[in-house]
Amino acid sequence: MLLKLTLNSLYARLLTVGMTVFAISLSLMLYMSVEKLRTSAYTSFTDTISQTDLIVGARTSSVQLLLYSVFRIGNATNNITWESYEDVIDRKEVAWSVPISLGDSHKGFRVMGTNNEFFKRYKFRGGQSIELEKGNNLDDLYDVIIGAGVAEKLNYSVETPLIVSHGLQSFSDHDDQPFRVSGILAKTGTPVDNTVIVSLEAIEAIHVDWSTGAKIPGQLTPVEEIRQMDLSPKNITAALIGVNSKLQIFQLQRWINEYPEESLSSILPGVALQELWRIVGVVENLLLGISVTVIFTTLIGMTAIIFSSLNERRREMAIWRAMGASPKVVIGLLMLEAFIISVMSIIVSTVMLFLTLYVLQPWIDNTYGILVNIETLAVKDIYIFMLFILSASLVSLIPAIRAYWFSINDGMTIKI
């Protein structure tokens, strides 16, 4: 009967209660959205590269190696020789490898030299492969494949001609050797989207007349002649390595780090990503802070709303008391009401969140490269909901105790 009458009472105040539920639902939805973005940003970040066991580069810190080899941020301290690379990949532990060569750019986008193995081996978001959305692989020496972000921002399509600039902020172009867009990659939400990919041989080709590190004045080797040259790479910037057995990762890593011919570093991408995330984690903490603040605000808001409805319900409380309801019942009624309001708010906010995410997910993914998971609620969300219901019921004790004192003082005199 108590539950039935409480539900009837809530129904009788449909407009007020409805607005309360809506306000709390919006706050809860904001909390869940922030949490979803926070966890999705983390997942998208740590899933930038997956299924690669080691990244090898010149001796440097793990974060720096990760930054330039995966995120194309900053520069390599040094290159590694092709001989060293071959020594590494000749090890029995190595199952596959992808060499990459960095250093040049195109209109602010980094140019990366690699081979077609890159498209087969580079995985992201827990094992997704990069796919060509349009065009073909690198078949010709002067073919480039561009990421979705490059195509979109520069408005390039297949067959668009392209000139690679020397270095990152150089006024010198390799304009004697124009490239052609042979393919455009599908959106990945990773730095690949903003990368211009050429073959390792192409990197060698455009530097034929740059043997001293700068363009040799008056020297211009014809393209047809270059095509006949041996363009085998002599140096690379880094290499992605996959091993036959996960148990061999540390063994291979130690061997690489102790390689006597050249100073090399090998890092575990997962560990380095975690380290890097800790550096940028201040943003995560900020989002976490926002989430906690939102929940607190919601609870305070709900208490205020129950408080403001107390006058409206003073007569009701007096009736309950007159009929013999103990203080426990009066307090229990308001706690039950807070419980029902919080459960309704959770249901409404969850429905609103999933509808909103369903509509916005493609846009968030395309714009920010963050894939927001809309399939399920996280276990943590369930715990937060339970904690919210418990907290809501507890904070409703404050107005409930006030209501109890009202009902004692009102006694027979209630004439509202």
Task: Give the footprint of other proteins on this chain (CB under 8 A).
Answer: 1-2, 4-5, 8-9, 11-12, 315-316, 318-319, 321-329, 408, 411-415
Q: Cβ closer to other proteins: 236 or 341?
A: 341
State the nearest-atom distance from the C-beta of 375 to other proteins, in Å: 40
Q: Indicate left, alpha or beta for 60 from its phi (over 0: left) and psi (-120 to 50: alpha).
A: beta
CB atoms within 10 A of CB 263: 14
State the nearest-atom distance from the C-beta of 348 to other proteins, in Å: 22
State the nearest-atom distance from the C-beta of 343 to other proteins, in Å: 20
Which is it for strands 109-114 and 94-106: parallel, antiparallel or unpaired? Answer: antiparallel
Q: Is 289 exposed, middle or buried (0-12, 13-18, 19+ CB in 10 A)?
A: exposed
Q: Cβ closer to other proteins: 192 or 331?
A: 331
How far apart CA 115 and CA 135 sit, in angstroms, is: 16
- DSSP reduced 3-state for 339: helix
Contact 241, 55 (CB under 8 A): yes
Amino acid at 282: V
How far apart CA 106 and CA 274 sit, in angstroms, is: 30
State the nearest-atom distance from the C-beta of 358 to other proteins, in Å: 37
How far apart CA 296 and CA 227 sit, in angstroms, is: 67
Q: Which of 30, 15, 26, 24 is nearest to 338 (CA)?
A: 24
Q: Cβ closer to other proteins: 193 or 410?
A: 410
State the nearest-atom distance from the C-beta of 410 to other proteins, in Å: 8
Q: Cβ closer to other proteins: 88 or 325?
A: 325
State the nearest-atom distance from the C-beta of 373 to other proteins, in Å: 42
Cα 330 → chain centroid: 48
Q: Cβ closer to other proteins: 241 or 325?
A: 325
336, two tokens:
């039950």
Q: Cβ closer to other proteins: 3 or 282?
A: 3
